[in-house]
Amino acid sequence: MNETKKFYDRVNIIRRPFKAQITMCKNKNGDIVSDKKAILQRWAEHSHELLNGYTGVDHVDNFTSDANRQNNEQKTEGT
């Protein structure tokens, strides 16, 4: 019985579709990082920033410009 289970486990592994893995990411400067340790470190930094509510200057600037754009569009539609 154990050999049958092993056989079907192997068959199921072969039948699974291919799943690509991302082996690169960008650091805070926008440079591509492919070193496994550097990628893990960047994900740790990113997660820490998300959990602690960090908002970088770029995020605030983008939000502000998007909000201003939307306000300007609403004003032009109303006139």
H or E element that contains 32:
strand 32-33
Tell me which residue has tokens 């920033």.
Answer: 49
Distance CA 69, CA 19 (A): 40
Is 70 exceeded by the pLDDT of residue 10? yes
**pLDDT band at 68; cut points 50, 70, 90:** low
Instruction: Specify the pTM.
Output: 0.43
Lowest average pLDDT, out of 4-8, 54-58, 60-64, goes to 60-64
**Residues 11-50: tens digit of each pLDDT:** 888 888 877 777 899 998 999 999 999 999 999 999 998 9
- Spatial neighbors of 79 by CB under 8 A, at least 6 apart, are none
